[in-house]
Structures are given as C-alpha cells and as structure tokens.
C-alpha cells in the first residue's frame, strides 16, 4: 500500500514539474491536460484510502473534495485560455473550490465522530466567527494590497471565510488529534496559494512566471497533504 502511495506521489511530482515548465509559457491545451492528470492523482490517493483505511466515510468526503478541486483547477486554466468568458470561469472555479472545502470540513467531522474533543461545537463557533472577521478584513485591505476586486468582492469574502474557517478549526482539532496537523498545514498552504493567485488575477500579474510557479507549488503541496491525511488515518 505504501509502495502504491509512493508511486502515485512520484508520478504527481513528475506531472507537476512538467506542467510548471509548460505553464510558465502560457496556458494551453497541453498545460490543461497535465494539470488535470496531476489533480487526478489526489483523487486516486483519496479513492484508494476509501478501501484501505479505517475511516471510509471521511475518505469519501475527501474524494469529493479532490474532485471539486480538479474541476476548479481546470476552470481556472480555461479562464486564461478563453478571455471572453474569464469571469464565468473564475466564478464557477471559485465555487468548485468552495464546495470542495465544504466536503473537506464534513470529512473532518466524520473523522472526529468517534473521538472525544471537549467543547468541539464551541470550537466550531469560535472558528466561524473568527473566519468571518478575517474574511471581511481581507476584502477591506485589498485596495492597500493593490488588488482590484471589483465585481468579485462577495465571492472573495465567502470563499476566504470558508477556507480560513477550515484552517482554524483544523488547527484547533490538531491540538487534540495530532494527525490532523497534515490537514491544517494543507489548508494553510491552500490559503497561501490563493493569496498568490489573487496577486495574479486582481493585481495585474497574471502572466508573472515566478508567481505562477509559486502558486502551483503551494497548491499541489496543499492538495498532497490533504490526500495524505486520509491515506494514513
């Protein structure tokens, strides 16, 4: 089983490397195919864990989350390839990633269903309120970061709030259930990736090659951590 995991991770690393080399020259059909197959590896890792680990429901939730990430990933590349419909692709891509985070959250809930986490629902409430505050704050400071969120403010607020919520609640739980540190780090890197992506989409740096590489390295590392979490529980 561990050999299979190692093989899948190796294939993913090769695909991501080749993808980045192609992608820095611009989005095209080749980069889209490479990106799709790289994201498919995370779906496979989560899918295998449904069969072999002790939390199949949690793994199933993460499979759905990875699938939504794969679709969102494709839509964001199509955004660059089809500039006439870029806003449509951005909105639906963001929606897919948001739904994916909802699946990850419910996956965490099912994982914790047979574990004792004192005051868990107070943690959920605290995480939700704090994420609302931070999500709102990010939108408010966007002009000072030279980000033009015109036409995308409420989407940014909702998506940021959801991702921050997942990161905070995962962090709180990891203090009691250490294995969820992989999830916490995954969500943090996911958030960092989205910050870089915001600089590109809303800061006029969409074709900046270093930012493109940094964004995708952060993103694929985050997805690998989330997939690894359900593989090893």
CA 65 from chain center: how many Å? 9
Question: Mind listing the pLDDT tens digit for each residue in 177-201?
Answer: 888 899 999 999 999 999 999 888 8
Q: Are 169 and 108 in contact (CB under 8 A)?
A: yes
Domain ranges of the chain: 2-232
Question: Mind listing the pLDDT tens digit for each residue in 19-75?
Answer: 888 888 877 788 888 888 989 999 999 888 888 877 888 889 999 999 999 999 899
Question: Mind listing the pLDDT tens digit for each residue in 128-179?
Answer: 999 999 999 998 898 888 888 888 888 899 999 999 999 998 998 888 888 8
The number of helices, as runs of H, and strands, as runs of E, in the chain is 8, 0
Q: Are 139 and 156 in contact (CB under 8 A)?
A: yes
Q: Are 202 and 37 in contact (CB under 8 A)?
A: no
What is the reported pTM? 0.90
pLDDT of residue 118 exceeding 80, the answer is: no
Q: Look at residues 62, 60, 41, 55 and name the one whose alpha carbon lies nearest to residue 177.
A: 55
pLDDT band at 116 (very low <50, low <70, confident <90, very high): low
Coil, strand or helix at 62: helix
Q: Look at residues 164, 163, 181 and name the one whose alpha carbon lies nearest to residue 232.
A: 181
């Amino acid at each position: 089983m561990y050999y299979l995991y190692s093989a899948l991770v190796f294939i993913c690393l090769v695909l991501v490397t080749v993808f980045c080399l192609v992608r820095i020259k611009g989005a095209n059909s080749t980069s889209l195919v490479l990106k799709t197959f790289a994201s498919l590896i995370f779906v496979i890792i989560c899918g295998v864990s449904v069969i072999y680990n002790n939390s199949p429901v949690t793994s199933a939730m993460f499979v759905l989350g990875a699938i939504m990430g794969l679709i969102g990933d494709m839509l964001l590349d199509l955004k660059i390839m089809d500039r006439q419909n870029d806003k449509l692709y951005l909105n639906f891509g963001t929606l897919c990633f948001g739904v994916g985070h909802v699946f990850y959250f419910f996956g965490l809930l099912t994982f914790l269903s047979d574990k004792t986490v004192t005051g868990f629902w107070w943690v959920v409430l605290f995480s939700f309120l704090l994420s609302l505050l931070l999500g709102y704050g990010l939108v408010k400071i966007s002009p000072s970061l030279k980000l033009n969120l015109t036409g995308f403010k409420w989407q940014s607020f909702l998506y940021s709030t959801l991702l921050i919520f997942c990161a905070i609640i995962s962090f709180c739980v990891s203090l009691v259930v250490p294995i969820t540190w992989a999830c916490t780090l995954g969500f943090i890197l996911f958030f960092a990736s989205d910050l870089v992506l915001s600089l590109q989409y809303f800061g006029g740096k969409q074709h900046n090659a270093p930012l493109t590489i940094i964004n995708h390295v952060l993103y694929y590392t985050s997805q690998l951590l989330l997939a690894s979490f359900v593989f090893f529980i």
